[in-house]
């Protein structure tokens, strides 16, 4: 298994032009034909139980602040990958996310063949914070965010 590594991100980014925060991690996969959507599905379709419990706790905690909470409820009826609404996709990139009162976020999953035997997989998070609540929220979730990204990428590295 290839360990994910953090790489630099340039802002602005077309998936969320007003983003004021971003990170990106990449890893390798042994399937050079892996599409971005397939990679995103491997990462997000069946999350570990501890992530599901953490997201359920998050949804309860943000409800009093008028935040949308569960992304699955927000995107009811729309195409999704796991809990995240699909905003755009092609074979090499899929963009997931939604906008809320405190912040807007995008998850950009990209795949690119690396020779005949591997693919590079990148998972980028873009955030546009709207207010103090968005800044506080991001600060609180950051340790969990990094752990979840590493876990999701490990599900598709090989």
Provide block-wise average pLDDT over 10 residues at a time, the chain (158 residues). Answer: 85 97 95 95 87 80 68 67 92 93 94 93 97 91 88 79
Q: Please report the pLDDT score of residue 110 as a whole number.
A: 97
Q: CB 15: neighbour CB atoms within 10 A?
A: 18
Q: How far is CA 120 from CA 47, 142, 146, 150, in A?
A: 21, 24, 19, 15
> Considering only CA atoms, which of 14, 10, 36 is closest in space to residue 23?
10
Sheet arrangement for strand 93-99: 5-7, 21-29, 118-129, 103-114, 93-99, 84-90, 80-81
pLDDT reported for residue 69 = 59
Residues 154, 4 contacting (CB under 8 angstroms):
yes
Q: Which residues contact 61 (CB under 8 A, 6 or more apart)?
A: none
Total residues found in the chain within this entry: 158
The residues with which 132 forms a beta bridge, in sequence order, are none
pTM above 0.85, yes or no: yes
pLDDT of 68: 66
Domain residue extents for the chain: 5-10+26-154
**What's the pLDDT score for residue 52?**
79
């Amino acid at each position: 298994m290839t360990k994910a590594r953090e790489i630099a991100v340039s802002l602005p980014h077309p998936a969320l032009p007003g983003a004021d925060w971003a990170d990106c991690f990449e890893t390798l996969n042994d399937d050079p034909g892996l599409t971005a959507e397939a990679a995103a599905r491997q990462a997000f379709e069946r999350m570990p139980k501890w992530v599901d419990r953490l997201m359920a706790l998050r949804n309860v905690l943000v409800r009093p602040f008028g935040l949308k909470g569960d992304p699955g409820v927000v995107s009811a009826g729309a195409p999704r990958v796991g809990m995240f609404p699909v905003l755009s996709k092609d074979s090499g990139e899929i963009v997931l996310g939604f906008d809320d009162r405190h912040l807007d976020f995008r998850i950009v999953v990209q795949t690119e063949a690396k020779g005949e035997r591997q693919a590079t997989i990148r998972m980028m998070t873009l955030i546009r914070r709207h207010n103090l609540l968005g800044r506080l929220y991001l600060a609180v979730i950051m340790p969990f965010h990094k752990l979840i990204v590493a876990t999701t990428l490990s599900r598709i590295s090989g």
